[in-house]
Amino acid sequence: MARAGGWTTDIAIVGGGLGGVSAALAALRLGRRVVLVEALQWLGGQLTAQGVPPDEYPWIESLQSSQSYAQLRRAIRDYYRQHLPLTAEASRALCLNPGQGNVSTLCHEPWVAARAIDGLLAPWQADGQLLVLRGHRVLRAETDGDTVRALHLSNLVSGDEAVLQAPMFIDATETGELLLQAGVEHVMGAEAQSSTQEPHALAQADPMDQQAVTWCFAMDHRPGEHHVIDKPEGYDRFRSLQLDCWPNAQYSWTLSDFVTHQPRTRPLFAGDTDTAGVYDLWHARRIAWRGHFQSGAYESDITLANWPQMDYWEQPLIGVSEAEEQHALQQARQFSLGFFYWMQTEAPRHDGGFGYPGLRLRGDVLGTKDGLAQQVYWREGRRIQAEFTVLEQHVGVAARPGQDGAERFFDSVGIGAYRIDLHPSTRGRNTVDIDSYPFQIPLGALLPQRVDNLLPACKNLGTTRITNGAYREHATEWSIGEAAGSLAAFALQRTLPPRAVRSSPGLLQDFQRLLQSQGVLLEWPRYGALTPLLRTGYQHAGHG
């Protein structure tokens, strides 16, 4: 795989998030050599480096979108059973939920998921079929017409540069960065309703109308102790920052309801912090519940903060200069630290008084020193202009009057399920949180309109900004990546461009059978009979 001045491989994947990891595993299982490029030391993206426990559909324990995603979930649970001091009862639990958080049946510490992912990749690395280049980023891409030829990489530690060549490339970056570098036609921000006819699209397209980002953090609570951090830069301004459409400043327990936009109060604590299932912020994304561990192993619960109070919407981050992006990222960091400081010093307490000085940042579970995640939580990025684009009319309940399910795609390559969930935007718009049906992933959404040998593997596929709000979550991103990695391997084996698979009924059937043989579901069982993801049946516990 190595060569003078760089590497050559079958499939080059840029981005080590969930989509990149699943794409790599899929291609490896099909016998292809893979180089996976990631700027960070942790793989797993939103699940690990961004510190977001999985938001998953209600049937996740009984109905897996793919066997490989089920394997990931088992690996996380097995790590707890094999390496951490669980109680006997917790160890026996078939559906172990380490944190007993109520946003998922598998709320867990990000560092555990990072090690589980490394374990899944280890056999392929050991035999040389996989090379993972951590601490590397793409400087530029070499293209020839509709073909990507090579990527020029930089080692972020040494500064050395090298070239990565491959006949097939996959963009699994969090922001669709490789699409820009390779000149792949793409969309940013919001489309116009005149273009998509989506009920919730804007009247005019606006590429700078982008969802807020969130810099997550982990914390525990040690009553009677004092762990107050230094006052963050910009705190005095941040503490009064308020969207015009919200009832209060963001640093508050009362915010705009995600669906109704009416005032909604949700405190940090609404009961005993040891009690599982309490519906407050502390329990929403709790990633370690000390009741699951032997006495003394965990002195406090640990929770992950990814809440509307931390959504940073003042500036767009995609399609701006590097200096503007870095400034916005720094502001997002300070905004999250400011909220933590507000909780420590000024927040109204559940038992009277103000401030919880016993809150303590836990960077150790995120692989950082300051307690913040290694990377900001990106909810959207660049999306390819695809052969087929998924619209609200394909998956939204209200946008499909008279239908009892999502659109059935003849070229389905996987399934997913999540509400259409958009956070406040950089233009000051309020949330969009609407009912959706369990849906399929169409192959056409993975095919750029022009470029022949580059595929998307995460939220950069052919969706609109509206439907991206449903296709961006953990399990669906994994399925998108798995389809992309499988398609790249299948196309190489047939010596055809990926788009030829969709245009030929015989090839498409062969590819779909291949996916099914790998344990991928292409449609929901009893299609149309599953409960749609309604507000009444699928309550957001933490608003992803």
Would you list the DSSP string of 100-168? --SS-S----HHHHHHHHHHHHHHHHHTTSEEEEETEEEEEEEEETTEEEEEEEEETTT--EEEEE-SE
**Structure letter (DSSP) for residue 288:** E
Report strand pairing: 311-312 vs 213-214: antiparallel
**Structure letter (DSSP) for residue 363:** G
Place of tokens 């977001």: 52
Number of H helices, E strands in the chain: 14, 24
Place of tokens 């998030």: 17
- Of 165, 156, 67, 136, residue with least CA distance to 453: 165
Q: What pLDDT, on the 0 to 100 scale, is given for residue 430?
A: 96
Between helices 18-29 and 474-494, what is the axis angle to 10°?
40
Place of tokens 């022009």: 450
Asked whether 442 and 413 are in contact (CB, 8 A), the reply is yes
* φ/ψ of residue 57, rounded to 5: -70, 160
> How far is Cα 190 from Cα 202, in angstroms, rounded to an integer?
7
> How far is Cα 461 from Cα 472, in angstroms, rounded to an integer?
10
pLDDT in tens, the chain (544 residues): 766 679 999 999 999 999 999 999 999 999 999 999 999 999 999 999 999 989 898 899 988 899 999 999 999 999 999 999 999 999 999 999 999 998 999 999 999 999 999 999 999 999 999 999 999 999 999 999 999 999 999 999 999 999 999 999 999 999 999 999 999 999 999 999 999 999 999 999 999 999 999 999 999 999 999 999 999 999 999 999 999 999 999 999 999 999 999 999 999 998 766 666 678 999 999 999 999 999 989 999 999 999 999 999 999 999 999 999 999 999 999 999 999 999 999 999 988 999 999 999 999 999 999 999 999 999 999 999 999 999 999 999 999 999 999 999 999 999 999 999 999 999 999 999 999 999 999 999 999 999 999 999 999 999 999 999 999 999 999 999 999 999 999 999 999 999 999 999 999 999 999 999 999 999 998 644 456 665 544 444 456 7
User: Domain residues of the chain, as ranges?
Assistant: 2-86+112-190+383-420+434-517
Would you list the DSSP string of 235-286? HHHHTT---TTSSS-SSSSEEE-TTT-SEEE--S-SS-TT-TT--SHHHHTE
Read off the amino acid at residue 347.
Answer: A
Q: What pLDDT, on the 0 to 100 scale, is given for residue 296?
A: 87
Asked whether 186 and 175 are in contact (CB, 8 A), the reply is no
Q: What pLDDT, on the 0 to 100 scale, is given for residue 537?
A: 41
Q: What pLDDT, on the 0 to 100 scale, is given for residue 43?
A: 98
Chain mean position to CA 313: 18
Question: What tokens were used for 175?
Answer: 């922001």
Q: What pLDDT, on the 0 to 100 scale, is given for residue 541?
A: 46
* φ/ψ of residue 8, rounded to 5: -130, 145
Asked whether 353 and 366 are in contact (CB, 8 A), the reply is no
- Of 176, 182, 171, 185, residue with least CA distance to 143: 182
Q: Is 3 left (phi over 0), alpha (psi -120 to 50) or beta?
A: beta
Q: What pLDDT, on the 0 to 100 scale, is given for residue 3?
A: 63
Note if the pTM is more than 0.75: yes
Side-chain half-sphere exposure of 243, counting CA atoms within 13 A:
28
Classify residue 1 as exposed, middle or buried by CB count within 10 Å of its CB (0-12, 13-18, 19+): middle
Superfamily of domain 2-86+112-190+383-420+434-517: FAD/NAD(P)-binding domain (3.50.50.60)
For residue 188, give Cα distances in angstroms to 148, 206, 459, 463, 473.
22, 8, 12, 11, 18
Chain mean position to CA 189: 17
Q: What pLDDT, on the 0 to 100 scale, is given for residue 536?
A: 44
Asked whether 48 and 469 are in contact (CB, 8 A), the reply is no
Say how many C-beta atoms besides its own lie within 10 A of residue 193's C-beta: 15
Which residues are CB-contacts of 182 (< 8 A; sequence separation ≥ 6)?
141, 143, 148, 169, 171, 451, 454
